[in-house]
Chains A and B, each alone.
Chain A
Amino acid sequence: MKLAQPDAKMLEEVGQLAEVRGRSLWADARARFFRNKAALAGLVVLILIFIFAMFGGLIAQYERDFVDFSLMGANAYRGVPSIETGHYFGVDIDGRDLYARTVQGTRISLLVGIVGALVAVFVGTLYGATAGYVGGRVDNIMMRTVDVLMSIPFMFVLILMLVIFGRSILMLFIGIGLISWLDMARIARGQTLTIKNKEFVEAAVATGVKPLTIILRHVVPNLLGIVIVYATLLVPQMIIFESFISYLGLGVQEPNTSLGALMSLGTKQMNNGTLWMLFYPLFFFLITLFAFFFVGDGLRDALDPKDR
């Protein structure tokens, strides 16, 4: 499990510079992003993966939970990938169509990644913005709390939670999201401190707008750039994390699956002459992560005028 810390540190610096540039930032950033070939390729791949996850099921010849009893278990070696049989990616160890399952696994993995990142971003931004905006004692207490929470080995706590409360996708979202909002809170706070003293915020304060409204209407929108970058970098971490949880057998319930669960099953059959069971999910897992890495890096570079 990698932590988002290094990116977070970098972003804390980047964001400050980005803010100074004002309105032209977005246009500049877009131009820079589209000049970056790797990032652009990543974006294209990402779009293709989304299309695959959303609509790939339409061309599947089988339901994801349909078992072909003649191709399961000891006979799974006969379920080789083939266009004729309709098992484009072959079958899994239980005789189910691997294509349909990979489509579904990709969807769940993306979902976990994106929802996990959104939870983190949502909680983290609000928390950080509030701490930064209110300042003083409250800020001190809120950020000390973050420090405290950062020392908790959350992966262990998550394993405990999944063991104890049973596994459900909701628990996974909550658990994963809750682990990663801390970095976001720090970044958001840092940003808010610089925004807080801007004229438009002071103007809002002077006209008697409520603090909550100021945070939501004036502070948060100005954090958007950095939030997007952070979220993009967070998604692949979440996907890796989910795969690890799946390996421990604590992931989503059958007949649902995720790329992590599929890879974990495929790895177990590695010695058994059915390498496609590992290969296809692994392929989609890797290209998804690559695409997110490239897009994330591209976005960061685009918003970072230092590294042109």
Chain B
Amino acid sequence: MFAYIVRRLAVAIPTILILVVISFLLMYSAPGGPFNSERPLPPEVLANLEAKYGLDQPMWRQMISYVWGVVTQFDFGPSFQYTDRSVNDVIAQGFPVTLTYGLWSAFAALVVGVSLGVAAAVRQNSVLDYLAVGITIGAQALPNFVMAPILVLVFTLWLGWLPGGGWNGGQWEYVVMPVIALSTSYMASIARITRSSMLEVLNSNFIRTAQAKGLPMRRVILRHALKPALLPVLSYLGPAMVGMITGSVVVDIIFSTGGIGQFFVNSAFNRDYAVIMGITLLVGVLTITFNLLVDILYAWIDPKIRY
């Protein structure tokens, strides 16, 4: 197990390097620099700016000094666009926001999704089952850029219950709608996975034995069936968590929450190289971390798996 984790971490390093190179090359070949504006800058001002950010160096040099800064000082450089902050500041500000509603979304998706899936499986082919399947498929198909404005219309304009956007330090009323918008489709996926794996488990011999022994249904499900049925859900959670963090782009734009999704899109549009690289790396590291965590959890829960 330990060797496995070490091996996975060893793979993570080249992965991140590849990520750095890909995003660096993409940004480098982009038309339009960070200092393009409608009024072209006089050459001496442009030269001063480029010297300040090291953009006058050859490409390989820029890349090496970037990697060096990241590795030795955990310094992702200054933002070209927001002059009073560094990339570390941008991430320190945006990431907690994204993480907060990302984690709440994961939690909501898991709780609602699993309950719905179990309920549908236990009452297979009942009205409840069809209803759950219908809801989940609908929820999976509805894009969140359609759902989010509808939520704002209903809860903010018509009912006046919740503020229509902003973050405000993460007070609960500002978190509710982003979480709903973000979690719905994952909730649906989790419900579908839970339902089908639960059905499978319920048909297996050990559950039939348990039932035959006269254990109450509730207890059979909670004590025996749930754990094995949740394994596929668990393996879905890694990519889902990453999806929730990258999916935050739409949520950030519509609810103006100020998470990293918004920073990413804005920086891509403004060629703020340093911020783009920083966020891409962050998400890459998160992807690796979540996948590793899930695999470890999986191994821990499912004794059949050996590494």
Q: Does chain A touch chain B in the assembled complex, meaning CB atoms less than 8 Å apart?
A: yes
Q: Answer yes or no: B210 CB below 8 A from chain A CBs.
A: no
Residues of B within 8 A of A307 (CB): 196, 199-200
Task: Give A159 to B131 CA distance when docked, in angstroms.
Answer: 36
When C-beta atoms are compared, the residue in chain B nearest to A164 turns out to be B30
| B236:A267 contact, CB within 8 angstroms | no
Tally of chain B residues near chain A (CB < 8 A): 55
When C-beta atoms are compared, the residue in chain A nearest to B134 turns out to be A290
Residues of B within 8 A of A148 (CB): 11, 14-15, 18
| A286:B246 contact, CB within 8 angstroms | no
Q: Answer yes or no: A41 CB below 8 A from chain B CBs.
A: no
Partner of B11, one of A5, A6, A147, A163: A147
Q: Answer yes or no: B122 CB below 8 A from chain A CBs.
A: no
Query: If the complex has contacts A160-B276, A244-B143, are A3 and B18 also in contact, measured as CB distance less than 8 A?
Result: no
Residues of B within 8 A of A164 (CB): 26-27, 29-31
Q: Answer yes or no: A271 CB below 8 A from chain B CBs.
A: yes
Q: Answer yes or no: A177 CB below 8 A from chain B CBs.
A: no
Q: Which of A27-35, A68-76, A150-158, A211-219 contacts B (4 or more CB under 8 A)?
A: A150-158
| B145:A267 contact, CB within 8 angstroms | yes
Residues of B within 8 A of A270 (CB): 149-150, 153
| B141:A290 contact, CB within 8 angstroms | yes
Task: Give A150 to B283 CA distance when docked, in angstroms.
Answer: 12
Task: Give A6 to B22 CA distance when docked, in angstroms.
Answer: 28
When C-beta atoms are compared, the residue in chain A nearest to B149 turns out to be A267
Q: Answer yes or no: B291 CB below 8 A from chain A CBs.
A: yes
Q: Answer yes or no: B232 CB below 8 A from chain A CBs.
A: yes
Interface secondary structure of B, over-half rule: helix
Q: Answer yes or no: A278 CB below 8 A from chain B CBs.
A: yes
| B11:A3 contact, CB within 8 angstroms | no
Residues of A within 8 A of B246 (CB): 1, 153, 155-156
Q: Which of B52-60, B166-174, B185-193 contacts A (4 or more CB under 8 A)?
A: B185-193
Partner of B143, one of A6, A156, A240: A240
| B288:A3 contact, CB within 8 angstroms | no
Residues of B within 8 A of A147 (CB): 11, 15
When C-beta atoms are compared, the residue in chain A nearest to B246 turns out to be A155
Q: Answer yes or no: A238 CB below 8 A from chain B CBs.
A: no
Query: If the complex has contacts A1-B243, A151-B291, A164-B29, are A247 and B250 also in contact, measured as CB distance less than 8 A?
Result: yes
A:74-94 near B, CB below 8 Å: none
Residues of A within 8 A of B12 (CB): 151
Kindly name the residue among A6, A150, A285 whose own CB sees the greatest number of chain B CB atoms within 10 A: A6
Partner of B146, one of A163, A263, A290: A263
Task: Give A2 to B241 CA distance when docked, in angstroms.
Answer: 10
Residues of B within 8 A of A95 (CB): none
Residues of B within 8 A of A2 (CB): 140, 185-186, 189, 240, 243
Task: Give A157 to B149 CA distance when docked, in angstroms.
Answer: 26
19 A/B residue pairs, CB under 8 Å, sorted by A: A2-B185, A3-B243, A5-B235, A6-B232, A148-B14, A150-B287, A152-B19, A153-B246, A153-B280, A157-B280, A160-B30, A243-B145, A267-B145, A267-B149, A270-B149, A271-B153, A289-B141, A290-B141, A307-B199
Chain B: residues with CB nearer than 8 A to chain A? 11-12, 14-15, 18-19, 22-23, 26-27, 29-31, 137-138, 140-143, 145-146, 149-150, 153, 185-186, 189, 193, 196, 199-200, 232, 235-236, 238-240, 242-243, 246-247, 249-250, 264-265, 268-269, 276, 279-280, 283-284, 287-288, 291
Chain A: residues with CB nearer than 8 A to chain B? 1-3, 5-6, 9-10, 144, 147-148, 150-153, 155-157, 159-161, 163-164, 236, 240, 243-244, 247-248, 260, 263-264, 267, 270-271, 278, 282, 285-286, 289-290, 293, 306-307
